[in-house]
Amino acid sequence: MRTIVNATPLIALAMIDRLELLRALFDEVIVPAEVYDEVVVQGADKPDAMALARAHWLQVVPSPPVSSLDPLLTGLDAGEMAVLLLAQQINPDWVVIDERLARRAAFALAMPVKGTLGILLAAALAGLLTAQEAVQDLQSLLDKGIRISPRWQDWFRSELEQL
Q: What is the pLDDT of residue 27?
A: 97
Share of the chain residues as helix, strand and coil, in percent rounded to the nearest 5: 55, 10, 35
Residues of the chain with pLDDT under 70: 66-74
Rounded Cα distance, 163 and 125, in Å: 7
Residue ranges in 40-130 assigned as alpha helix (H) = 47-54, 78-90, 100-108, 116-125
Could you tell me how far CA 23 lies from the centroid of its own chain?
A: 12
Q: What is the pLDDT of residue 103?
A: 94
- Report the relative pairing of strands 113-114 and 94-96 from DSSP bridges: parallel
Q: What is the pLDDT of residue 70?
A: 59
Closest CA to 9 of 1, 24, 28, 29: 29
Q: What is the pLDDT of residue 137?
A: 98
Q: Average pLDDT, whole number, for the chain? A: 93
The CATH H-level (homologous superfamily) assignment of domain 2-117 is 5'-nuclease (3.40.50.1010)
Q: What is the pLDDT of residue 52?
A: 92
Q: What is the pLDDT of residue 71?
A: 55
DSSP type of residue 128: S
Q: What is the pLDDT of residue 101?
A: 92
